[in-house]
Amino acid sequence: MRPRVLTSTLLSASRLYTTATSSATCRATHALIPSNLVKTCAPLTTRTFSTSSTRSNTPSTPSTPITMAASSATLLEAFKARRSFYQLNKELPIPKEKVTSIVQENLIQIPSSFNSQSNRVLVLYGAEHDKLWDITSEVLKPLVPAESWDATAARNAGFKAGAGTVLFFIDTTVVSGMQEKFALYKDRFPTWAEHSTAMLQFAAWTTLEAEGLGANLQHYNPLIDERVAAEWNIPAHWQLTAQLVFGGKAGEAGPKDALPLEQTFKVAGA
Ligand SMILES: Cc1cc2nc3c(=O)[nH]c(=O)nc-3n(C[C@H](O)[C@H](O)[C@H](O)COP(=O)(O)O)c2cc1C
């Protein structure tokens, strides 16, 4: 499966088939996909895009439209293909505008508890990406034992060698607003916001790699939070949760094992 098709699949069904402008795309797509998938397309043309009454009725759209096809097999193939790629370069296999649109589409589509939409994102390219990893080095230098510095510096140089970084945040005012509104679930909202940012991280990671990029997930928060906020004018209530470094692939992913399903999985019922 070509990477482009995989990403189209990952981002497709829910949006293109749910808006007025998408019905033509859906009809056109019928000609290109197997008939069993057309069944998925047709009923959804009558659905309206879900928004809360307090929000705009105009659905968000990414800056560049993405063409679509769909099946669970291609989704699972993309999940399998998502790996940690640490050897990266600055040669993106697709235009950076498309990277931006894919991240935007993920941000729009990823679920959140009560559709609270607590996720926030900053994407850095080029010199801004380099700056992030210079900042990280500066922050780490006084904290890392001298004898470990070479390894830390090499690791950071590996991240800087990539083409860009997606920074994921939780808007804590959304979380506290939900806690006030739904006191019964007060304790749960911070955890649910973490679930939602994790879903977004996984989706962005998977879809970018489906386009042929390599990526790896880092967690230099909270060490770098203040410097990031100051450098990119990030509101104090945006809490940094992870950094997804991406770029062209300059090496392969390492080996990975999996526990036997006997240890990790149960099923019940007829
Ligand atoms: C929640 C989470 C946190 C992670 N944090 C880091 C990290 O801080 N640095 C890192 O290099 N990799 C991190 N990883 C990547 C994992 O080490 C990696 O996904 C795992 O070893 C499986 O390898 P794979 O990504 O190639 O499938 C993280 C992954 C997850 C899911």
Taking the CB of residue 37, how many other CB atoms lie within 10 A of it? 17
Do 153 and 26 share a structural domain? Answer: no
Q: For tokens 């470094």, what's the residue?
A: 245
Domain assignment of residue 263, yes or no: no
Among 83, 84, 200, 206, which residue has the most ligand 1 atoms within 8 Å of its CB, making it the best to mutate? 84
pTM for this model (two decimals): 0.82
Q: How confident is the model at residue 62 (pLDDT cuts 50, 70, 90)?
A: confident
CATH number at residue 225: 3.40.109.10
The count of domains in the chain is 2
Q: In terms of Cα–Cα distance, which of 82, 126, 79 is closest to 100?
A: 126
Q: What is the pLDDT of residues 76-97, one digit of tens each?
A: 999 999 999 999 999 999 999 9
Taking the CB of residue 142, how many other CB atoms lie within 10 A of it? 6
Residue 239 CA to ligand 1 centre (angstroms): 20
Q: Which long-range contacts (CB under 8 A, 24 or more apart) does 177-182 make?
A: 177/116, 178/113, 178/114, 178/116, 178/118, 182/114
Residues with a CB atom less than 6 Å from ligand 1: 83-84, 216-219, 253, 256
What CA–CA distances, in Å, run from 2 to 7, 25, 75, 232, 244?
A: 9, 21, 12, 35, 23
Q: How confident is the model at residue 44 (pLDDT cuts 50, 70, 90)?
A: very low
Do 59 and 92 share a structural domain? Answer: no
Q: Which domain holds residue 59?
A: 1-81
Do 128 and 51 share a structural domain? Answer: no
Do 110 and 142 share a structural domain? Answer: yes
Do 72 and 13 share a structural domain? Answer: yes
Taking the CB of residue 155, how many other CB atoms lie within 10 A of it? 16
Contacts of 20 by beta carbon, 8 Å cutoff, 6+ apart? none
Do 36 and 13 share a structural domain? Answer: yes
Domain assignment of residue 261, yes or no: no
Q: How confident is the model at residue 59 (pLDDT cuts 50, 70, 90)?
A: low
Do 106 and 74 share a structural domain? Answer: no
Domain assignment of residue 172, yes or no: yes
Provide the 8-state DSSP code for 63.
Answer: S
Do 162 and 101 share a structural domain? Answer: yes
Do 69 and 144 share a structural domain? Answer: no
Whether pLDDT at 20 is above 50: no
